[in-house]
Amino acid sequence: MPLGTLDGTPPPFFRQGPSALSKLILFSALALFLMVADSRFEVAKPLRMVVASVLYPVQWMVLRPVLWAQGGSQYFESLKSTQLREQAGKRQLADQSQRANQVEQLALENSRLRQLLGLREKVTTTWQAAQVLYDAADPYTHKVIIDRGALEGVLAGSPVIDESGVLGQVTRVYPMVSEVTLVTDRDQAIPVLNTRTGARAVAFGDPALRANALELRYMAANADVQAGDLLTTSGVDGVYPSGLPVAKVERVDRRVDSAFARITCQPLALVSGVGHVMVLKPIATLVVPPSAPETAGASLKKGSRR
C-alpha cells in the first residue's frame, strides 16, 4: 500500500483533550459549588436518600455475619459468666449453710453449758468440767471417754453428771483421759430414792430391755411406784451425792407370776449426744477419817500426866 494513502491522525486513545490542570480546576470548582449549594439549599438530599435506600439491603446483608459473630461471642461469654456466678453462688450457699449449722450447734452447746453452770450451784462437792471426746469402741457397752485424767486429779469411781442429771461413773483413769461408764450400761448400778414416797431402791442399766433405759429391780409387786415418779441419788453408797436427778419411772408392770414388779425408767441425763460434763469427787473421799485410837489414848495419857 502506498504511504500516501495511510491515515496520519492519532487513534482515539491518544487523542489530547483538556489538560489535567484545567480538569482539576473545573471539578474542584464544581465540587465547591455543590458543597455550598448542598449546605445552603440541600440540593443533594434527595440523591442521598435514594442512594441510602438502594444500598440499605446490601449493607444489611454485609452486616449480618458480623452481628452473628458478635452475638455468638457475647452468648458464650454470658454463658461462661453465668456458670461462674452459679458456682460462686453454690459455694456461698454451702458456706452459709455450714455457718448456720455451726450457729445452731453452738447455740445448743451454749444452752447446755448454761444449764450445766446452773446445776453447779446445787452441787456442794468438789467438781471439775470435762468434755466428752468420743464413745468407747465396744458396741456391747455404754461408755464414753472424757478429756480429764489422773493428771487433773480424776479418781476412779468419781460421779459424772451433765446438765440434766447423773450420767455415769468413772471406771478407768488414764494420765490424760478417763473412761466413764454410763448409767444405762448393764454392769452399772446406782442407789436411788423415790422423791414421792421416800423409798430406796437400786437402778440397773438394762440395754437388753430397751436402748438407753434403766430398770428398778427387786421391787415388790405391791410396791408404791407409779409412772412419772422422780428418782434421785440416795447418797448411801458413798459415791454419789444425795439429791442428784437420775431417772423418771416410765412403766410399771405388775406380773401375777412373779413376786417382783418390772419397772422401766427413763434416764434424765443425755446418755447419747452429751458434750460437756462435770466430774465430782466421790463423797467418801471428802469425809474426814476418824482419829486413831492410839492417838486418842496417847493424848489422854498426856493430859492425865499434867
Angle at 222 between CA 190 and CA 184, to 5 degrees: 25
| Nearest residue to 216 (alpha-carbon basis) of 269, 248, 262 | 262
Give me the pLDDT at residue 14, please.
53
pLDDT mean by block of 10 residues, the chain; 306 residues: 58 65 88 83 79 84 85 82 85 77 65 62 75 85 90 91 89 93 90 91 77 86 90 88 90 86 90 86 67 48 45
Cα distances (angstroms) measured from residue 46 to each of 37, 43, 49: 13, 7, 5
